[in-house]
Amino acid sequence: MPGVVENWPAWKEFGVSPEENTRGPDFAKAKAEIIDQYGEEALRRSWLKVCKELETVTENLSTLGSDSIPIFQMKDIHDHGLSNEQRAQLKSSGCCVVRGVIPEAEAAALFQDMKNLVAENSRKIPGWPAESPAMLRLYNSPTQLAIRTHPNQILLQRTLNTLFHDKSNETSPEPLSYTDAARIRQSGLAFLGLGPHIDAGSLSRWADAQYRKVYDHIFSGNPELHDAFDLDIRKSANQYLFKSNAHSVVFRSFQGWTALTPASPSAGTLLLYPNISSVIAYVLLRPLFSPPKKTEDLMDASKWTFDPESSWFPGTMKDQSQRLSPTSHPHLRLRECITYIPPMNPGDTVWWHTDMCHAVDPEHNGQGDAGVVYVAACPTTAINKSYVKTQLQAALVGGGPPDSPDIELDERELKGYKGFANISAEGKAVLGFNLL
């Protein structure tokens, strides 16, 4: 099977025993509100439906592997857009690879420019993890700005945003640019810090009343009616209820990165779980049920007990993304179903829905660096406009984005910094200059 994880990494397990940061008063309050609002009968009905549906989902994914991730060509999107069949395929999988968004030679040159800038300012640019920095807390280098404002990026993000609908007509698929970091990962550098997880808030999905409403059908006993592309309620959900560098204020319809170097399985790439609705439904319902005592009954959803008392939310930490593991979320069959994305070339991009489970490749055994720039698709919403305006105001004086308030670096002082003067009018629009 293509893309299979042959040797499961030593990622942390979250279902062995409760930890203090995965339970407490905020967890108990959210759980009580959900039970009071929806009731045990509806929640149990959803639990059984979702676990049953996951039997089919996991069987398909475990067979298809990376073949479950659709691949599109930027030239085709530029010339014809996405066909109805491609749109349906993308909405079904919740993710895609788009090749040739940046011409390969241009992407390679931009990577070399970024490497040179980092080398010339190595003592100034913070990175994570501290012991072997690969995630660079660098935000407005010439390379990053060139990629964020590239005409193909803007067109592609607009295309992805059109998959969402909003009956209020208060939002627009016109993209706004979310400033994010870059990654230069050296060959041989292991990285276990980001195993299977889901971004866009953790406990806030349960605790914020508006965010919870996004998943109303799931909690109401009708998970099959959940629409993962409905922006009407989600546009005003509070993903940042529990403030942390791990969470974003901005709604990203699709997270993504642009490859600046080749990337492939076990060579600094990405893993995805190509399903949205069944996975997020299971994750949301999981804290409401306790597993059976007998190991042989674990995969029988009917043997799980409705649990209104415990405040334990396995894998949920207020200051972290939502984590998943085989012990905490067994019905997902993570070992068989999370898959490496197809091999990437410089200038290729990968995109995944805001509710999608994903993981960073724990290994980089390839030759040379694995470099990417994180670029997401963000529609125009009131929250996104407000954030992007503040983000740009900070960037113009050398500051980092509001989601990373502890950055002390003034990027204007970096050797090789060029600022925003030479950016196109279209590029300035997505960066938020029209909001100033």
pLDDT at residue 319 tops 90: yes
Block residue for tokens 């993903």: 239
Kindly report, residue by residue over 263-299, the tens digit of the pLDDT. Answer: 999 989 999 999 999 999 999 999 999 999 999 999 9
Kindly report, residue by residue over 157-183, the tens digit of the pLDDT. Answer: 999 999 999 999 999 999 999 999 999
* Position 421, amino acid: A
Rounded CA-CA distance 348/62 in Å is 25
pLDDT at residue 190 tops 90: no
Kindly report, residue by residue over 84-123, the tens digit of the pLDDT. Answer: 999 999 999 999 999 999 999 999 999 999 999 999 998 8
Element (H, E) at 113: helix 104-120
Kindly report, residue by residue over 302-313, the tens digit of the pLDDT. Answer: 999 999 999 999
Say if residues 365 and 185 touch (Cβ distance below 8 Å).
no
> What pLDDT, on the 0 to 100 scale, is given for residue 72?
98
Between 365 and 31, the more confident residue is 31
Share of the chain above pLDDT 70, in %: 100
Mean confidence (pLDDT) of the chain: 95
- Strands 71-73 and 95-99 turn out to be parallel
Task: Report the candidate in 159, 340, 338, 332 with the shortest Cα–Cα distance to residue 253.
Answer: 159
Task: Report the candidate in 145, 159, 156 with the shortest Cα–Cα distance to residue 424.
Answer: 145
Please provide the distance, in angstroms rounded to a whole number, between the alpha carbons at the two ends of the chain: 51
Rounded CA-CA distance 125/215 in Å is 40
Say if residues 192 and 11 touch (Cβ distance below 8 Å).
yes
* pLDDT class of 1 with cuts at 50, 70, 90: low
> What pLDDT, on the 0 to 100 scale, is given for residue 3?
81
Rounded CA-CA distance 417/140 in Å is 8
Lowest-pLDDT range of 45-54, 224-233, 313-322, 357-366: 357-366
Between 212 and 3, the more confident residue is 212
Other CB atoms within 10 A of residue 172 CB: 16
* pLDDT class of 405 with cuts at 50, 70, 90: confident
